[in-house]
Structure 1
């Protein structure tokens, strides 16, 4: 129950302020009475699919990754904005993203492509994709292109 309340508070803080780093978010939660560690906050950020993305003011701030709203107020899927390229090495694949988007897109891959993808490892702008046994490159691409519109 406490986690759910903390998650709701994190979303409220991100929507109401420009939070540019984890320390700012951690301090905001502490000021609201939460006793939270950096490790817990990192897990919360991953679970909530929070990314650092450009704001209309030209800086980068934490945002909820479910959708990015562009300047014309059109809602765009996160992966259509954040995905840059994919390249294979043997059975493994590496996706390049815009800075700050990798963790959220990896979470999307983990939840939507779990029939073909065993798991992902994400950094700031790179995702390592580990396909399940006997899954071809073509099957990986087909699986990912079902929710990443500009996948080639």
Structure 2
């Protein structure tokens, strides 16, 4: 059975308030198990519209959560991410390497990208490491100092 958009989004919100869901694939599966047809692309759009983010809950488990109005800006999210996920920051010439807690590399890189920092050309993320390419050594040094100040 296919749900109307509003009903589907209400179902998503209900699932997220009752269960720990940490991936779009898992959310799609839970909706399908409830007897409804849904695609990953549709769920992805719903997640954006509902302002659902994947972050650690009070117990430290990564899960999808609905951002409430007035919550973190991109800068606040980045600062919180640096404080909660970074174990080491190292600069080499015009690049910065960041070691994160296990499983946090991609999430923190997304926060860096969302922060639209002027020094950043691009990020490459793995399980627990991020490499940031900066425009110049000066930009890398300034960014390293800023990131380190947030630790």
Summarize the Cα distance change of 1:35–1:63 in structure 2 as closer, same or farther, 3 Å threshold: closer
TM-score normalised by length of structure 2: 0.60
Matched, 1:84 2:87: yes
Q: Indicate conservation of the 8 Å contact 2:25/2:40, yes or no.
A: no
What does residue 101 of structure 2 align with? 98
Aligned CA distance change for structure 1 residues 141 and 61 (closer, same or farther; 3 Å):
closer
Runs of 4+ that moved beyond 6 A = 2-9
After superposition, where does 1:104-115 map in structure 2 within 5 Å?
Answer: 104-115=107-118
RMSD of aligned Cα (Å): 4.1
Contact 2:121 2:135 in 1 (8 A): yes
Tell me which protein shows more helix as a share of its residues: 2
Deviations 1:22-76 (A, max 9, x none): 5423302434532226xx86xx69x95524x4763x7x44244978xxxxxxxx9
Matching of residues 60-139 of structure 1 within 5 Å: 60-64=61-65, 77-133=80-136, 135-139=138-142
Task: Give the aligned length.
Answer: 132
Which runs of 5 or more residues in structure 1 are unaligned? 68-75
Among candidates 13, 33, 39, match of residue 37 of structure 2: 33
Give the C-alpha shift of residue 88 in structure 1. Answer: 2.3
Q: TM-score, normalised by structure 1?
A: 0.60
